[in-house]
Amino acid sequence: MLKHRGFPGRLPGTDYQFTIRRENKAGATPLKARERYADRRPADREADAGFLLALWKHFGEEPFERGNLDAGRLSWLLGREVVPADEPFDPESYEARLRIDAARARESFPEVFDDAG
């Protein structure tokens, strides 16, 4: 499992996790797109925005390996702002490659790109 050095481990000042410490010996937690409803708590939306900002600053539009990125946090963005970079895509692999769909991400989280430049 690739560890993304320099990537923040969590949203500052919160317990919202962005990375995992060690590989699950039983296999990677499967990634699956999660539905974001309009009534989500503001803190949850802030965590999504913070994670997307960290992804953008670390990888930009380049494809990246899932590695030690948290499956739960990725799943909130999967299929919208974060999409598979390769086909076939294995949602149960630490080596699965993803990329940010910049147009969709700007539409969903304009505040992230206003801050990121």
* Side chain identity at residue 38, one-letter code: A
> How high is the pLDDT of residue 69?
97
98 and 38 Cβ atoms separated by less than 8 Å: no
Q: What are phi and psi of 17, to 5 degrees?
A: -80, 140
Question: Tens-of-pLDDT digits for all 117 residues of the chain?
Answer: 999 999 999 999 899 999 999 988 888 999 999 999 988 899 999 999 999 999 999 999 999 999 999 999 999 999 999 999 999 999 999 999 999 999 999 999 998 888 665
**Residue 63, number of CB atoms within 10 A of its CB:** 12
**Model pLDDT, residue 116:** 60
| Beta bridge partner(s), residue 64 | 98
Cis ω before 88 (30° cut-off from 0): yes
CA distances from 38 to 35, 42, 67, 85, 92 (A): 10, 10, 30, 28, 28
Give the phi and the psi of residue 57 in degrees, each rounded to 5. Answer: -65, -35
